Structure 1
């Protein structure tokens, strides 16, 4: 049953042209909420063939949410803002030269969006956050939202630090006239998602999935968040903010409700791609300096995304699991299980063609990496000989 408050205004979704935004719109409509949505995103809407919704209820504005003129045009009469837009987790923005821009969008842009929401009397604000606001490379076992934020110097990258700062500000601004909620996702995946599933597909295609990187002898465990469950959680968070007796100004961990082994979970997909799961083991202490090297060359020199970031390495070799009991209790969140089989089924068909079609040009192939390594050691040898 949809609260009648939905009829009092439209929804605004920042960064909604991609995978998560599409899953949100699909979840809204699936659950009977046909409120008009205005999507603000500088990128055009991606034509997902695995996510279905009625586009007659969606208006796309190919604009940046940081611009006042854009907010002044979309926020009047809006009832809810779903803030999904952020940068720095993947792509070139991990480079140090872009840190100011990451901060400007993730923190200053969010603060300005909040101020504008208050100005135009938007009633509700739902933020797409991340477990990165608490994960700093140390083991976490079924942690709750009571866990305090790390110190600034502990964060693994600028993305994690800025997401935490934005989340703290959003929670601090929550009040009866402007209710906010933050949802902390962990590894949002699904068919056609470009950050998790397709990155694995590309890594398998480039033969980078041949070894297990382990800090200890046992394979680490974590949780993951399917796009479908994330969309459902965003919808439920909005519904909860409409009810007077429900809490607000809180953060919630959101995932599939299952623990997974961080390598074994991808075995069916790897086999569907015609490859064998990794059997060789490589100790963390050997890989860590390699990741530092590759990240430096990719980010600072080539200005492209490395095959694996420091955050991705640490979250892979460290057990990190999160409790969703608060989301179940406060939001009525009941995940529909994992959706790994849908990922396998999607990429199993026409495997070779799909690997090539989805292989992003921003990633490096095997020959590129060899060239980078040769160049690096050649440079080091020159510097050494000059002394």
Structure 2
């Protein structure tokens, strides 16, 4: 009888990591599942162990990797941190994980990268994995994710098989980035405004599809010619960027949404001003703006990707259509909003 697979989900307490854990445990023949994260965020009796630890701590990572057959690394700092923190966590933390996998004889490492490792705001149509890394990244997060991805892929071999997945625009119920940002913007009254003319296409990916892609990567990595590769993951449904916020805003009860259009040129100018102010004030006060020149470029340029490689090599196909993912996400935020209003009323 084959030995039961034993998975370690690093960052398994977070938005994506938790969904990977849940899908693994829902499978017909679930593997052992362990979690390594900074803090325990949920209880699930089917999880073998929820280990609280830091990925920059070699002792904690080595102990967590001991006996595992698959490590899925989803942990990262995303925004709002000083530059050295990004490099310590996103890059050095990844190196610590690779070293632990080798030391503990883990045969499989799946890394969660970003679709932006090759993107710095340019107009990107039908991008593929052959596109080069950016020479100059427009933020430290993407720079460190690109550096960590290259480290992961160059570590393939010698008993350790690696894959890097590049999901685009992850969203879903309870995410703390994409849909939460839209919810927060709506509560501030920003449901009235859009930048540009909504003529550019953008790729979003529902969280369940991203989680499923990680599981498929782990299942297929030891086939000839699969390891050491990067794969874009999307919902395979490029959509006009502002259609997604409009859907969520409408479900939250706002009407005549996005009726005020800010020209792209003005948005870029304002974003540049914000960037300059952040740079000037950096020695005095740390500011993490949500409105930057880079974000204006993301919103107003095309960024959609070709996922033929993931389909052909990993057998990936989005199991949740974009519209259904949006519906589930809207239901979550509507319930959250209703609960907040009820709490205020009491």
Q: TM-score, normalised by structure 2?
A: 0.90
Distance 1:136 1:67 in 2: 31
Quick one: structure 1 residues 81 and 310, their matched pair in 2 at CA, closer, same or farther if it must change by over 3 Å? farther
Taking the TM superposition and a 5 Å limit, the aligned residue runs for 1:87-236 are 87=77, 89-90=78-79, 92-93=80-81, 98-151=82-135, 154-175=136-157, 177-214=159-196, 217-236=197-216
Distance 1:42 1:251 in 2: 27
Equivalent position of 1:328 in the other structure: 311
Secondary structure of the 1:162 match is: helix
1:255 aligns with 2:238: no
Equivalent position of 2:33 in the other structure: 37
Quick one: structure 1 residues 308 and 60, their matched pair in 2 at CA, closer, same or farther if it must change by over 3 Å? farther
Secondary structure of the 1:56 match is: coil
Distance 2:341 2:219 in 1: 39
Q: Is the 8 A contact 2:55 2:96 kept in 1?
A: no
Deviation at 1:108, TM superposition (A): 1.7
1:17 aligns with 2:13: yes
1:343 pairs with 323, 329, 339, which one? 329
1:283 aligns with 2:267: no
> 1:323-377: CA deviations, max 9, x gaps?
11100111111112221111122223363544898xxxxxxxxxxxxxxxxxxxx
Distance 1:251 1:113 in 2: 18
Equivalent position of 2:246 in the other structure: 267
Quick one: structure 1 residues 303 and 61, their matched pair in 2 at CA, closer, same or farther if it must change by over 3 Å? farther
Equivalent position of 2:76 in the other structure: 86
Deviation at 1:279, TM superposition (A): 1.7
Distance 1:127 1:109 in 2: 12
Quick one: structure 1 residues 209 and 25, their matched pair in 2 at CA, closer, same or farther if it must change by over 3 Å? same
Q: Is the 8 A contact 1:26 1:231 kept in 2?
A: no
Deviation at 1:293, TM superposition (A): 4.5
Distance 2:291 2:28 in 1: 40
Distance 2:14 2:202 in 1: 25
> 1:273-311: CA deviations, max 9, x gaps?
121320221122322343345464599465454233444
Distance 1:173 1:289 in 2: 42
Equivalent position of 1:379 in the other structure: none
Distance 1:204 1:99 in 2: 30
Quick one: structure 1 residues 21 and 58, their matched pair in 2 at CA, closer, same or farther if it must change by over 3 Å? farther
Distance 2:91 2:29 in 1: 30
